[in-house]
Structure 1
Amino acid sequence: MRRRSRRKRAVQENHERWLITYADLITLLMIFFVVLYAMSQIDIRKYDVLAQSLHFEFRKSDTILEMGSGVTGGLDPAKQPKPAETSEKVDDPDKERLEEKKKQMEQDLQDLYKVIQSYVKANHLEQLVFVADTSEGITIRLSDKFLFDLGKADLKEDASPVLARLASLFKQLDNTISIEGHTDNLPIQKGGTFQDNWGLSAGRSLAVLRYFVDQTKLEPKKFKIAGYSDTRPVAPNTTEANRQKNRRVEITVLRGR
């Protein structure tokens, strides 16, 4: 009977004793984290006082860097050389000369515009000469009424005074001068000098150019010419008055060239 009771007690031994150790470990960990949490609650005021004190002590100490301050060697703004004051406008002699030249050229164009307007009014040429200040430059529109006979490109004698006056003004300018010939849309009569309006418009611009170069001795390199036929009308070619407006030579003193 005794042997059986001993065996029964051996079988009933507790195998979960390890849970006690595990529970103790968990308890210790919880206590550890509670302590950490308690230590993490910083007094803001005390922290600021400490930070200011440390900052003051480090900043007042001698630095190992030139022009620095404090042990940390930070740069002291008071010891730094002030940068040289730079002007917003950089002095560039070439740029200044170019700007002055542009201003002078623009002033010359405005003076030219006023002089030609005064000349046209003084000589009652409003119906024959039109002057305009455009984006390209100062444009002088000359009617073919006093420049050429119908279908021809030979300058009339009446054209000389106006062209001579323009030449005297052009001598004072360095700008490029464009001469353009224009016609109406009526076809050229057969048997004439020109086959079509292209040839007539180009011949008329060339005749004006030759007057400036041969008669008044202006430099050829100042000019460029073109003939546009009836492709650039200033009025619809529906009436004789409008066609008369389209038969013209335009002389433009180009801006900025």
Structure 2
Amino acid sequence: MSLKNSLENAEDNWLISYADMMTLLLFLFIILYAMAVQKEGANQIPAASAAPAASAASQAADQSSTGETAAYYYIDKNSSAAGTASKSSSSSKSAAAKTAAGKSTASKSSSTKKVSTAAKGSAGKKPTYNEVESFVESNSLKGTVSVQQVETGIVFDIQAEVLFDEGSSQLRPESYTVLDKIGKYIGSLSNDIIIAGHTDNQPVDTGNYQSNWELSCDRATKVLRYFTDTEKLAPQRFQAVGYGGYRPIADNGTAGGRQQNRRVEVIVVEVP
């Protein structure tokens, strides 16, 4: 009898193991389900909070397309105070935008008037070629000064030998009369003036200048300073440039050509 009971008990032991396994599986499924529910809830929260931001971004894009600039704030719809603040902020921004637009329009109008007035003042008297040629002849400058009409304006072309000794940038006393007459004439104008120095293609013999670049620049500057310092013309109207021997008007292969290339140009800039 004892042996029989022992055998029966051994046959029932598998039920205990099976029950334990089923219990463990149940706990496992419960844990997995809880984790899945928690993860799904976490994913839904950012999506819900992103909706207002997406709406605000859409509004910003619409405003940007109309050329307006605005700041956007997220306000809780359940708060009546927030709604009032939003309306107040929108009204103040609209008023500020209108004020800024008014100021901008007034500023542009004022600037346009100033530019127009400045343009009229800078144009001043517009000399013609015949007028300048007549001035040169009536002031006994013919043969010393020639007149050219170029795209930039009208040019007083002065031979360098009248103004300077060879290789020098110091004005000769004989040049003062010529410069005085030209200075009086351009002083009656309000056009900008360019002083351009030119040389021939021969190397500089003196040790004062490394090349014709420096010599031509210094000569142009000396003439400019005579107009501004001696004739008391407005310095802001003037600029000086030096081209060395790189813009000849005659053949440098002859003495006569080189003499023509050594020159200083006083250019009366035409205002369109």
TM range, normalised to the smaller chain?
0.5 to 0.7
1:166 is displaced (CA, Å) by: 1.5
Q: Is residue 2:120 matched to residue 1:101?
A: yes
Aligned in 2, Cα 1:159/1:116: closer, same or farther, shift over 3 Å? Answer: farther
Residue number among 218, 227, 235 corresponding to 2:233 in the alignment: 218
Moved over 4 A (4+): none
Q: Percent identity?
A: 37
Using the alignment, how far apart are the partners of 2:230 and 2:130 within structure 1? 25
Deviations 1:154-187 (A, max 9, x none): 1111211121111112222221100000000110
Aligned residue in 2 for 1:172: 188
| TM-score, normalising length: structure 2 | 0.53
Change (3 A) 1:172 1:125: closer
The 5 Å alignment of 1:21-60 reads none
Q: Does 1:249 align with 2:264?
A: yes
SS of 1:109's equivalent? coil
The structural deviation recorded for 1:107 is 5.3
1:229 aligns with 2:205: no
After TM superposition, list the pairs within 5 Å mapping 1:1-257 onto structure 2. 101=120, 105=123, 108-110=126-128, 113-190=129-206, 192-256=207-271
- Mapped partners of 1:250, 1:223: distance in 2: 13
Inter-CA distance 216–253: structure 2 relative to 1 (3 Å threshold): same
The number of residue pairs the alignment matches comes to: 161
Per-residue CA deviation, residues 122-179 of structure 1 (Å, 9 max, x unaligned), is 3543322111222211111100121100000011112111211111122222211000
More helix by percentage: 2
1:108 is paired with a residue whose SS is coil
Contact 1:128 1:145 in 2 (8 A): no
Question: Cα offset for 1:115?
Answer: 4.5
Q: 1:51 matched to which residue of 2?
A: none
Unpaired segments of 5 or more residues in structure 1?
1-92
Quick one: distance in 1 between partners of 2:137 and 2:184?
18
| 2:14 aligned residue | none
Alpha-carbon distance in structure 1 between the residues aligned to 2:124 and 2:246: 30
Per-residue deviation, 1:105: 3.7
Q: Please give the root-mean-square deviation of Cα atoms over the aligned residues, in Å.
A: 2.7
Q: Work out which of the two has the higher radius of gyration on C-alpha atoms and give 1 or 2.
A: 1
What letter is aligned with 2:239? K
| Structure 1 counterpart of 2:138, one-letter code | A
Instruction: Supply the AA of the counterpart residue of 2:143.
Output: Q
In structure 2, the CA distance between the partners of 1:114 and 1:225, relative to structure 1 (3 Å rule), is: same
Aligned to 1:47: none
Check the 8 A contact 2:201/2:245 in 1, yes or no: yes
When residues 218 and 156 of structure 1 are mapped into structure 2, their CA distance, relative to the original with a 3 A threshold, is same
